Structure 1
Protein backbone atom coordinates (compact mmCIF):
# COMPACT_ATOMS: atom_id res chain seq x y z
CA UNK A 1 0.00 0.00 0.00
CA UNK A 2 1.29 3.42 -0.86
CA UNK A 3 0.34 6.96 -1.77
CA UNK A 4 1.10 8.24 -5.25
CA UNK A 5 1.31 11.96 -5.86
CA UNK A 6 -0.14 12.99 -9.21
CA UNK A 7 2.76 15.44 -9.65
CA UNK A 8 5.18 12.50 -9.73
CA UNK A 9 3.11 10.78 -12.42
CA UNK A 10 2.96 13.99 -14.45
CA UNK A 11 6.75 14.34 -14.24
CA UNK A 12 7.10 10.85 -15.72
CA UNK A 13 4.64 11.68 -18.47
CA UNK A 14 6.50 14.91 -19.18
CA UNK A 15 9.69 12.88 -19.67
CA UNK A 16 7.68 10.72 -22.09
CA UNK A 17 8.55 7.56 -20.20
CA UNK A 18 7.06 4.49 -21.90
CA UNK A 19 6.39 2.65 -18.64
CA UNK A 20 5.67 4.20 -15.27
CA UNK A 21 6.51 2.04 -12.27
CA UNK A 22 3.85 3.06 -9.77
CA UNK A 23 5.51 1.03 -7.04
CA UNK A 24 8.64 3.17 -7.35
CA UNK A 25 6.55 6.34 -7.26
CA UNK A 26 4.52 5.28 -4.24
CA UNK A 27 5.36 6.66 -0.82
CA UNK A 28 4.87 4.77 2.40
CA UNK A 29 1.71 6.11 4.04
CA UNK A 30 1.35 7.17 7.63
CA UNK A 31 -1.33 5.11 9.38
CA UNK A 32 -3.02 6.81 12.33
CA UNK A 33 -5.80 6.03 14.77
CA UNK A 34 -8.98 8.05 14.44
CA UNK A 35 -8.39 8.97 18.08
CA UNK A 36 -5.09 10.78 17.36
CA UNK A 37 -5.11 14.45 18.33
CA UNK A 38 -4.84 17.04 15.57
CA UNK A 39 -1.72 18.72 17.00
CA UNK A 40 0.09 15.39 17.45
CA UNK A 41 -0.74 14.28 13.91
CA UNK A 42 0.31 17.65 12.49
CA UNK A 43 3.72 17.32 14.19
CA UNK A 44 4.12 13.74 12.95
CA UNK A 45 3.22 14.65 9.37
CA UNK A 46 5.60 17.61 9.43
CA UNK A 47 8.38 15.42 10.82
CA UNK A 48 7.87 12.82 8.11
CA UNK A 49 7.37 15.45 5.39
CA UNK A 50 4.05 13.87 4.45
CA UNK A 51 0.92 15.64 3.26
CA UNK A 52 -1.49 12.76 3.81
CA UNK A 53 -2.25 10.05 6.37
CA UNK A 54 -4.54 7.02 6.29
CA UNK A 55 -6.98 7.01 9.23
CA UNK A 56 -7.79 3.63 10.79
CA UNK A 57 -10.85 2.79 12.86
CA UNK A 58 -10.79 0.84 16.13
CA UNK A 59 -10.77 -2.47 14.21
CA UNK A 60 -7.84 -1.54 11.96
CA UNK A 61 -10.04 -0.88 8.94
CA UNK A 62 -9.58 2.21 6.79
CA UNK A 63 -11.83 5.03 7.96
CA UNK A 64 -10.55 7.54 5.41
CA UNK A 65 -7.65 9.85 4.79
CA UNK A 66 -6.61 13.18 6.24
CA UNK A 67 -4.47 15.80 4.55
CA UNK A 68 -2.21 18.49 5.92
CA UNK A 69 -4.75 21.04 4.68
CA UNK A 70 -7.50 19.26 6.69
CA UNK A 71 -5.42 19.58 9.86
CA UNK A 72 -4.56 23.24 9.29
CA UNK A 73 -8.24 24.02 8.60
CA UNK A 74 -9.19 22.24 11.82
CA UNK A 75 -6.87 24.61 13.71
CA UNK A 76 -7.33 27.94 11.89
CA UNK A 77 -10.68 27.51 10.13
CA UNK A 78 -11.69 27.01 6.52
CA UNK A 79 -9.09 27.85 3.89
CA UNK A 80 -10.46 28.57 0.43
CA UNK A 81 -8.13 27.96 -2.48
CA UNK A 82 -8.36 27.42 -6.22
CA UNK A 83 -9.28 23.74 -5.82
CA UNK A 84 -12.29 24.40 -3.59
CA UNK A 85 -15.66 24.33 -5.29
CA UNK A 86 -18.07 26.67 -3.56
CA UNK A 87 -21.66 25.58 -3.91
CA UNK A 88 -24.31 26.29 -1.35
CA UNK A 89 -26.15 23.15 -0.28
CA UNK A 90 -29.06 25.29 0.77
CA UNK A 91 -31.33 28.13 -0.29
CA UNK A 92 -32.11 30.96 2.13
CA UNK A 93 -35.73 31.83 2.84
CA UNK A 94 -35.40 34.79 5.18
CA UNK A 95 -33.11 35.17 8.19
CA UNK A 96 -34.08 32.04 10.09
CA UNK A 97 -35.14 29.59 7.37
CA UNK A 98 -33.32 27.58 4.73
CA UNK A 99 -34.38 24.94 2.24
CA UNK A 100 -31.92 22.05 1.99
CA UNK A 101 -31.61 18.30 1.55
CA UNK A 102 -31.85 16.15 4.66
CA UNK A 103 -28.20 15.12 4.42
CA UNK A 104 -26.80 18.57 5.25
CA UNK A 105 -24.02 18.33 7.84
CA UNK A 106 -24.72 19.62 11.34
CA UNK A 107 -21.44 21.57 11.14
CA UNK A 108 -22.81 23.41 8.13
CA UNK A 109 -26.09 24.21 9.92
CA UNK A 110 -24.12 25.52 12.90
CA UNK A 111 -22.09 27.72 10.57
CA UNK A 112 -25.16 29.06 8.73
CA UNK A 113 -27.18 29.86 11.85
CA UNK A 114 -24.24 30.61 14.21
CA UNK A 115 -25.50 27.90 16.59
CA UNK A 116 -23.99 24.98 18.49
CA UNK A 117 -26.24 22.03 17.69
CA UNK A 118 -24.54 19.00 19.33
CA UNK A 119 -23.46 16.02 17.21
CA UNK A 120 -23.24 12.32 17.99
CA UNK A 121 -22.24 11.81 21.61
CA UNK A 122 -21.86 15.54 22.34
Structure 2
Protein backbone atom coordinates (compact mmCIF):
# COMPACT_ATOMS: atom_id res chain seq x y z
CA UNK A 1 0.00 0.00 0.00
CA UNK A 2 1.43 3.39 -0.98
CA UNK A 3 2.28 5.92 1.66
CA UNK A 4 -0.54 8.52 1.80
CA UNK A 5 1.96 11.10 2.97
CA UNK A 6 5.01 10.71 0.75
CA UNK A 7 8.18 12.39 1.86
CA UNK A 8 8.58 15.93 0.50
CA UNK A 9 11.15 16.22 -2.21
CA UNK A 10 14.10 18.33 -1.09
CA UNK A 11 14.20 21.87 -2.46
CA UNK A 12 16.71 22.61 -5.17
CA UNK A 13 20.08 22.98 -3.57
CA UNK A 14 21.18 26.59 -3.14
CA UNK A 15 24.85 26.60 -4.08
CA UNK A 16 25.43 30.24 -3.20
CA UNK A 17 27.96 30.84 -0.46
CA UNK A 18 27.05 32.73 2.69
CA UNK A 19 29.10 35.69 1.43
CA UNK A 20 27.21 35.74 -1.89
CA UNK A 21 23.87 35.68 -0.06
CA UNK A 22 25.00 38.50 2.20
CA UNK A 23 26.15 40.65 -0.75
CA UNK A 24 22.86 40.09 -2.58
CA UNK A 25 20.93 41.06 0.56
CA UNK A 26 22.92 44.27 1.02
CA UNK A 27 23.06 45.13 -2.71
CA UNK A 28 19.85 43.90 -4.37
CA UNK A 29 19.59 43.59 -8.15
CA UNK A 30 18.81 46.52 -10.44
CA UNK A 31 15.28 47.87 -10.25
CA UNK A 32 15.28 50.11 -13.33
CA UNK A 33 16.31 49.88 -16.97
CA UNK A 34 19.13 52.36 -16.43
CA UNK A 35 20.52 50.34 -13.53
CA UNK A 36 20.24 47.11 -15.49
CA UNK A 37 22.18 48.58 -18.41
CA UNK A 38 24.78 49.90 -15.95
CA UNK A 39 25.04 46.42 -14.47
CA UNK A 40 25.70 44.99 -17.93
CA UNK A 41 28.48 47.52 -18.45
CA UNK A 42 30.02 46.44 -15.14
CA UNK A 43 29.72 42.79 -16.16
CA UNK A 44 31.60 43.56 -19.37
CA UNK A 45 34.25 45.44 -17.39
CA UNK A 46 34.66 42.39 -15.14
CA UNK A 47 34.94 40.10 -18.19
CA UNK A 48 31.75 38.29 -17.25
CA UNK A 49 30.28 38.95 -20.71
CA UNK A 50 31.80 40.11 -23.97
CA UNK A 51 31.27 43.47 -25.64
CA UNK A 52 29.02 42.03 -28.37
CA UNK A 53 26.89 40.23 -25.82
CA UNK A 54 26.46 43.42 -23.81
CA UNK A 55 25.37 45.37 -26.91
CA UNK A 56 22.81 42.71 -27.80
CA UNK A 57 21.46 42.48 -24.26
CA UNK A 58 21.16 46.26 -24.10
CA UNK A 59 19.30 46.15 -27.42
CA UNK A 60 16.81 43.65 -26.03
CA UNK A 61 16.25 45.82 -22.95
CA UNK A 62 15.81 49.06 -24.88
CA UNK A 63 13.55 47.39 -27.44
CA UNK A 64 11.02 46.64 -24.71
CA UNK A 65 10.15 50.35 -24.61
CA UNK A 66 10.14 50.92 -28.39
CA UNK A 67 7.24 50.90 -30.83
CA UNK A 68 6.79 50.39 -34.55
CA UNK A 69 6.57 54.15 -34.98
CA UNK A 70 10.07 54.56 -33.54
CA UNK A 71 11.87 52.54 -36.20
CA UNK A 72 9.54 52.45 -39.23
CA UNK A 73 10.42 53.78 -42.67
CA UNK A 74 8.20 56.89 -43.02
CA UNK A 75 5.55 56.91 -45.73
CA UNK A 76 7.39 59.67 -47.60
CA UNK A 77 10.38 57.36 -48.06
CA UNK A 78 8.54 54.17 -48.97
CA UNK A 79 9.11 52.57 -52.37
CA UNK A 80 5.67 51.59 -53.67
CA UNK A 81 4.47 49.77 -56.77
CA UNK A 82 1.41 50.76 -58.79
CA UNK A 83 -0.72 47.72 -59.63
CA UNK A 84 -1.50 49.27 -63.02
CA UNK A 85 2.15 49.96 -63.95
CA UNK A 86 3.54 48.06 -66.97
CA UNK A 87 5.95 45.21 -66.40
CA UNK A 88 8.98 47.23 -67.55
CA UNK A 89 8.21 49.89 -64.97
CA UNK A 90 7.85 47.26 -62.22
CA UNK A 91 11.19 45.78 -63.17
CA UNK A 92 12.85 49.20 -63.15
CA UNK A 93 11.64 49.90 -59.61
CA UNK A 94 12.80 46.49 -58.37
CA UNK A 95 16.26 46.88 -59.92
CA UNK A 96 16.80 50.47 -58.81
CA UNK A 97 15.72 49.95 -55.19
CA UNK A 98 16.91 46.36 -54.67
CA UNK A 99 14.21 45.54 -52.11
CA UNK A 100 12.81 42.03 -51.86
CA UNK A 101 9.24 43.12 -50.95
CA UNK A 102 7.10 46.02 -52.13
CA UNK A 103 3.76 47.40 -50.94
CA UNK A 104 1.38 47.60 -53.90
CA UNK A 105 -1.27 50.29 -54.20
CA UNK A 106 -4.21 50.83 -56.50
CA UNK A 107 -5.35 54.31 -57.43
CA UNK A 108 -4.22 56.12 -54.29
CA UNK A 109 -1.03 55.54 -52.31
CA UNK A 110 -3.15 55.04 -49.21
CA UNK A 111 -4.92 52.09 -50.83
CA UNK A 112 -2.43 49.30 -50.18
CA UNK A 113 -3.85 46.12 -51.67
CA UNK A 114 -1.01 43.67 -51.03
CA UNK A 115 2.70 42.91 -50.98
CA UNK A 116 4.68 41.90 -54.06
CA UNK A 117 7.76 39.71 -53.74
CA UNK A 118 10.47 40.71 -56.20
CA UNK A 119 11.21 37.07 -56.98
CA UNK A 120 7.59 36.56 -58.07
CA UNK A 121 8.18 38.87 -61.04
CA UNK A 122 10.12 36.00 -62.60
CA UNK A 123 6.78 34.26 -63.07
CA UNK A 124 5.64 37.14 -65.25
CA UNK A 125 8.69 36.73 -67.44
CA UNK A 126 7.78 33.11 -68.10
CA UNK A 127 4.07 33.86 -68.50
CA UNK A 128 3.44 37.52 -69.44
CA UNK A 129 -0.30 36.90 -69.55
CA UNK A 130 -0.27 36.03 -65.86
CA UNK A 131 -2.30 38.45 -63.74
CA UNK A 132 -0.04 40.31 -61.32
CA UNK A 133 -2.88 40.45 -58.78
CA UNK A 134 -2.53 36.71 -58.39
CA UNK A 135 1.06 37.25 -57.21
CA UNK A 136 0.15 39.61 -54.38
CA UNK A 137 0.42 38.45 -50.80
CA UNK A 138 -1.80 39.83 -48.03
CA UNK A 139 -0.52 43.00 -46.39
CA UNK A 140 -0.27 43.10 -42.60
CA UNK A 141 -1.20 46.33 -40.82
CA UNK A 142 -0.02 47.38 -37.35
CA UNK A 143 -0.55 50.60 -35.35
CA UNK A 144 2.33 52.98 -34.67
CA UNK A 145 1.98 52.14 -30.98
CA UNK A 146 2.69 48.44 -31.55
CA UNK A 147 5.49 47.32 -29.23
CA UNK A 148 8.54 45.87 -30.98
CA UNK A 149 8.54 42.82 -28.72
CA UNK A 150 4.98 41.98 -29.74
CA UNK A 151 5.68 42.77 -33.39
CA UNK A 152 8.70 40.47 -33.49
CA UNK A 153 6.59 37.71 -31.99
CA UNK A 154 3.96 38.25 -34.70
CA UNK A 155 6.57 38.32 -37.47
CA UNK A 156 7.85 34.96 -36.27
CA UNK A 157 4.38 33.51 -35.86
CA UNK A 158 2.85 34.48 -39.20
CA UNK A 159 6.12 34.44 -41.15
CA UNK A 160 5.56 37.95 -42.45
CA UNK A 161 8.69 40.01 -42.97
CA UNK A 162 6.98 43.35 -43.61
CA UNK A 163 4.05 45.21 -42.11
CA UNK A 164 2.36 48.49 -42.98
CA UNK A 165 2.24 50.95 -40.08
CA UNK A 166 -0.90 53.07 -39.67
CA UNK A 167 -1.50 56.10 -37.48
CA UNK A 168 -4.40 56.71 -35.09
CA UNK A 169 -6.60 57.85 -37.98
CA UNK A 170 -5.93 54.72 -40.05
CA UNK A 171 -3.67 56.49 -42.53
CA UNK A 172 -0.44 54.92 -43.74
CA UNK A 173 2.40 56.20 -41.56
CA UNK A 174 5.14 53.98 -42.95
CA UNK A 175 6.34 50.41 -43.08
CA UNK A 176 8.49 48.20 -40.89
CA UNK A 177 10.37 44.99 -41.64
CA UNK A 178 11.63 42.19 -39.44
CA UNK A 179 15.13 43.42 -40.26
CA UNK A 180 14.30 46.83 -38.79
CA UNK A 181 13.25 45.12 -35.55
CA UNK A 182 16.19 42.72 -35.31
CA UNK A 183 18.66 45.53 -35.92
CA UNK A 184 17.58 47.05 -32.62
CA UNK A 185 19.13 43.97 -30.99
CA UNK A 186 22.05 42.92 -33.13
CA UNK A 187 22.91 46.16 -34.88
CA UNK A 188 22.99 46.71 -38.61
CA UNK A 189 22.27 43.63 -40.70
CA UNK A 190 24.08 43.49 -44.01
CA UNK A 191 22.12 42.19 -46.96
CA UNK A 192 23.18 40.75 -50.28
CA UNK A 193 24.05 44.20 -51.57
CA UNK A 194 26.29 45.12 -48.66
CA UNK A 195 30.01 44.68 -49.07
CA UNK A 196 32.59 42.80 -47.04
CA UNK A 197 35.54 44.74 -45.72
CA UNK A 198 36.16 48.47 -45.71
CA UNK A 199 36.87 49.17 -49.36
CA UNK A 200 33.31 49.52 -50.66
CA UNK A 201 32.38 48.25 -54.08
CA UNK A 202 30.88 49.04 -57.46
CA UNK A 203 28.37 46.79 -59.21
CA UNK A 204 27.01 47.00 -62.75
CA UNK A 205 23.21 46.72 -62.94
CA UNK A 206 20.96 45.32 -65.63
CA UNK A 207 19.84 48.77 -66.78
CA UNK A 208 23.46 49.76 -67.46
CA UNK A 209 23.75 51.92 -64.40
CA UNK A 210 25.94 51.22 -61.40
CA UNK A 211 25.42 50.62 -57.69
CA UNK A 212 28.18 52.24 -55.66
CA UNK A 213 28.70 51.79 -51.94
CA UNK A 214 28.90 55.03 -49.98
CA UNK A 215 32.18 53.99 -48.37
CA UNK A 216 33.90 53.34 -51.69
CA UNK A 217 37.15 55.34 -51.86
CA UNK A 218 36.94 58.40 -54.12
CA UNK A 219 40.04 57.24 -55.97
CA UNK A 220 38.37 53.96 -56.81
CA UNK A 221 35.33 55.76 -58.22
CA UNK A 222 37.62 57.99 -60.27
CA UNK A 223 39.41 54.96 -61.70
CA UNK A 224 36.20 53.02 -62.41
CA UNK A 225 34.48 55.85 -64.28
CA UNK A 226 37.59 57.58 -65.62
CA UNK A 227 36.68 60.89 -64.00
CA UNK A 228 38.23 63.26 -61.48
CA UNK A 229 35.89 63.94 -58.59
CA UNK A 230 36.99 66.97 -56.63
CA UNK A 231 34.85 69.10 -54.35
CA UNK A 232 34.33 72.83 -54.55
CA UNK A 233 36.50 73.32 -51.45
CA UNK A 234 40.16 72.65 -52.37
CA UNK A 235 41.13 72.50 -48.69
CA UNK A 236 38.65 69.73 -47.90
CA UNK A 237 39.75 66.15 -48.59
CA UNK A 238 37.42 63.17 -48.39
CA UNK A 239 38.31 59.50 -48.45
CA UNK A 240 34.89 58.12 -49.45
CA UNK A 241 32.39 59.01 -52.13
CA UNK A 242 29.63 59.24 -49.52
CA UNK A 243 31.56 61.84 -47.53
CA UNK A 244 32.35 63.86 -50.65
CA UNK A 245 28.76 63.92 -51.91
CA UNK A 246 27.38 64.82 -48.47
CA UNK A 247 29.85 67.71 -48.22
CA UNK A 248 28.96 69.00 -51.67
CA UNK A 249 25.22 68.85 -50.90
CA UNK A 250 25.68 70.51 -47.53
CA UNK A 251 23.75 67.83 -45.61
CA UNK A 252 23.40 64.08 -45.23
CA UNK A 253 21.40 63.08 -48.33
CA UNK A 254 18.11 61.25 -48.01
CA UNK A 255 16.80 58.45 -50.18
CA UNK A 256 15.83 59.74 -53.61
CA UNK A 257 18.03 62.85 -53.52
CA UNK A 258 20.53 63.26 -56.32
CA UNK A 259 23.67 65.18 -57.14
CA UNK A 260 25.68 65.62 -60.34
CA UNK A 261 29.48 65.72 -60.35
CA UNK A 262 32.01 65.28 -63.18
CA UNK A 263 29.30 64.17 -65.60
CA UNK A 264 27.94 61.53 -63.22
CA UNK A 265 24.54 61.52 -61.58
CA UNK A 266 24.52 60.11 -58.04
CA UNK A 267 21.08 59.06 -56.75
CA UNK A 268 20.79 58.03 -53.11
CA UNK A 269 19.30 54.54 -52.85
CA UNK A 270 19.77 53.71 -49.18
CA UNK A 271 20.90 55.46 -46.00
CA UNK A 272 21.64 54.12 -42.53
CA UNK A 273 23.03 55.61 -39.37
CA UNK A 274 23.30 59.11 -40.84
CA UNK A 275 25.36 57.99 -43.85
CA UNK A 276 24.67 56.94 -47.43
CA UNK A 277 24.94 53.17 -47.87
CA UNK A 278 24.32 53.01 -51.63
CA UNK A 279 24.26 55.32 -54.62
CA UNK A 280 22.91 54.59 -58.07
CA UNK A 281 25.36 56.09 -60.55
CA UNK A 282 24.69 56.82 -64.21
CA UNK A 283 25.76 59.36 -66.82
CA UNK A 284 24.24 62.74 -66.07
CA UNK A 285 21.44 63.68 -68.50
CA UNK A 286 22.82 64.34 -72.00
CA UNK A 287 26.29 63.37 -70.81
CA UNK A 288 28.26 60.22 -71.52
CA UNK A 289 30.83 58.58 -69.32
CA UNK A 290 34.32 59.76 -70.09
CA UNK A 291 36.82 57.40 -71.51
By the TM > 0.5 criterion, same fold? yes
Residue 251 of structure 2 is matched in structure 1 by 101
Picking from 115, 140, 162, the partner of 1:3 is 115
SS state at 2:192 partner: coil
DSSP-derived class of the 2:184 partner: helix
Q: CA RMSD in A?
A: 2.7
Q: Does 1:63 align with 2:173?
A: yes
| TM-score of the superposed pair, with normalisation by structure 2 | 0.30
More strand per residue: 2
- Consecutive unaligned residues of structure 1, counting only runs of 5 or more, are 92-98, 110-122
Distance in 1, matches of 2:118 and 2:142, equals: 23
Q: Distance in 2 between matches of 1:86 and 1:71?
A: 23
Deviation, 1:11, is 3.4
**Deviation (angstroms), 1:108:** 3.6
What is the match of residue 94 of structure 1? none
Task: Please tell me whether the aligned partners of residues 32 and 54 of structure 1 are also in contact (alpha carbons under 8 angstroms).
Answer: yes
The Cα of 1:79 is off from its aligned counterpart by: 1.3
1:23 aligns with 2:143: no
Residue of structure 2 aligned with 1:87, choices 204, 214, 224: 214
Partner of 2:146: 36
Equivalent position to 1:50, from 155, 160, 170: 160
Q: More deviation in 55-64 or 80-89?
A: 80-89
Work out whether residues 90 and 101 of structure 1, in 8 Å CA contact, stay in contact via their aligned partners in 2.
no
Compute the TM-score of the two structures, normalised by the length of structure 1: 0.67
Tell me, yes or no, if the aligned pair for 1:33 and 1:57 is still in contact at 8 Å.
Answer: yes
Tell me how far apart the structure 2 counterparts of residues 102 and 4 of structure 1 sit (CA, whole Å): 30
Q: How many residue pairs get matched?
A: 100
Structure 1 residue 103: deviation in Å? 6.9
